[in-house]
Amino acid sequence: MRCRICNSENLESVIDLGQQPWANDFIKKEHIGEEPFYPLRVVYCHDCHAAQLDYTVKKEVMFGNHTYLTGATKTTSEHFKRVAQRVDEEFFSNRKDKSVLDIGSNDGTQLLHYQNMGYKALGVESSKITAEIANKAGVNTINEFFNLETVKKIDSKFDVINAAGVFYHLEEIHSVCEGIKEALKEDGVFVVHFIYMKDIFEHMTFDQIYHEHLLYYTLETIGKLLNLHGLEMFDAYHSGSHGGTIIGYVGHKGTRQASERLCKMQQAEQESNCNSIKAYRDFNQKIEILKSKTLNYLQEQKKLGKRIFGLGSPLKGNTLLNHFGIGTDILDCLAETNPLRDGLYSPGQHIPIVLQKDLKENPDIYFVLAWNFKNEILERNADLIKEGVEFYFPVDVDNY
């Protein structure tokens, strides 16, 4: 294979999580065991330093009908609202007739916040079922993959283009960048959200590695990609979302000066050495240490006769369950709040998913897979905690 960003062949395998099913392939009982497995391996490019998967599960498989709903959690919706408010305050509060395009707009949660501030909004969403939900909620959404071809069909320019949690998904990354370049007004702002590799290292959130995330950016590597397409990041800030996300403001190259805040972040990144191959090799060892620690804990608890349920069935949870080999011998079920996953089974480990509100009894321990909603989970389950139910976070960003 060649590097997805710079086309080099000088790649080295650094993290190997084995053969894994596509993490969003939640299955019906009658199809258990039929899910295909693919290599889940991160390679490092010695030329541009980009970390990426060396195997691509086709986008039609991954994004044709996914069941993730942004609006299903309060934390995400509130986070998106703050993002939209900041963009408007910083750039467009005085503008009339403003417009926004959202790439991978999901159920329209992000665009609703913009619409409420007077923006004309258009969503592009590849999942048919999710696009329908957005349209019903009053957010104009087309059911397509975003790329240059789609932009030509839309034939319109936007003040804001937003891409939350999708920019590292995209198989046709260069065509996507060309599409953004084409659809962004001369003084428009492309708002890119991406999980930050420096945070993945520092918080041990290795479960962010799954087939949908083809690229794992740092400021250096995303900068190189944007640069290839006449785009440039001029400001960025850090958010705690997903254990560490960067929200970058990008414009046409040469239109704005880089902010002091961005320069400081770039400097801190270089000082941390997170663009080096050594950082990846060290991280790989730490994953194995976390695996032994987690399995020891779970096995001890089972020996004590404790009943353990998983909490949440996020995609990242499947990376962790499959890599650590945690199955129904340890977890009775995965308790969920998203109704689209009710009654399905987790890919690989085939753990049944049950809606938390339908559970007849509580476990002794909740093994929390959706760790990025820690505060919301602890708040929502305050009564259970009082009753003595333990909430164990195998990945706990507060511990690092």
- Given the complex with Zn ion, which of 109 and 275 has the nearer CB atom? 275
Q: What is the C-alpha to C-alpha distance for residues 385 and 140, in angstroms, rounded to an integer? A: 42
Q: What is the C-alpha to C-alpha distance for residues 384 and 54, in angstroms, rounded to an integer? A: 43
> Residue 205, Cβ neighbours under 10 Å: how many?
23
11 is an interface residue for Zn ion by CB under 5 A = no
Classify residue 98 by its DSSP letter.
-
- Going through the chain in order, the beta strands assigned E by DSSP cover 11-21, 37-45, 51-53, 99-103, 120-124, 141-142, 158-164, 184-195, 215-216, 231-239, 245-252, 308-311, 331-336, 353-355, 365-368, 390-392
- Given the complex with Zn ion, which of 10 and 375 has the nearer CB atom? 10
Q: What is the C-alpha to C-alpha distance for residues 275 and 26, in angstroms, rounded to an integer? A: 34
The minimum distance between CB 4 and Zn ion, in angstroms, equals 8
Site string for Zn ion, 42-71 (x = CB under 5 A): ---x-xx-x---------------------
Among 8, 93, 257, 270, binds Zn ion (CB under 5 A): 8
**Count of residues touching Zn ion (by CB under 5 A):** 8
The minimum distance between CB 223 and Zn ion, in angstroms, equals 13
The minimum distance between CB 3 and Zn ion, in angstroms, equals 3
228 is an interface residue for Zn ion by CB under 5 A = no
6 is an interface residue for Zn ion by CB under 5 A = yes
Query: Residues 293 to 332: which contact Zn ion by CB under 5 A?
Result: none
- Given the complex with Zn ion, which of 45 and 395 has the nearer CB atom? 45
- Given the complex with Zn ion, which of 220 and 364 has the nearer CB atom? 220
Residue partners of 380: CB distance under 8 A and separation at least 6: none
Classify residue 204 by its DSSP letter.
T
- Given the complex with Zn ion, which of 13 and 375 has the nearer CB atom? 13
The minimum distance between CB 118 and Zn ion, in angstroms, equals 41
> Residue 11, Cβ neighbours under 10 Å: how many?
19
The minimum distance between CB 252 and Zn ion, in angstroms, equals 24
Using alpha carbons, select from 352, 361, 351, 354 the residue that is nearest to residue 307. 361
The minimum distance between CB 43 and Zn ion, in angstroms, equals 10
Strand order in the sheet with 390-392: 353-355, 331-336, 308-311, 365-368, 390-392
- Given the complex with Zn ion, which of 6 and 385 has the nearer CB atom? 6
Residues that bind Zn ion (CB under 5 A): 3, 5-6, 8, 45, 47-48, 50
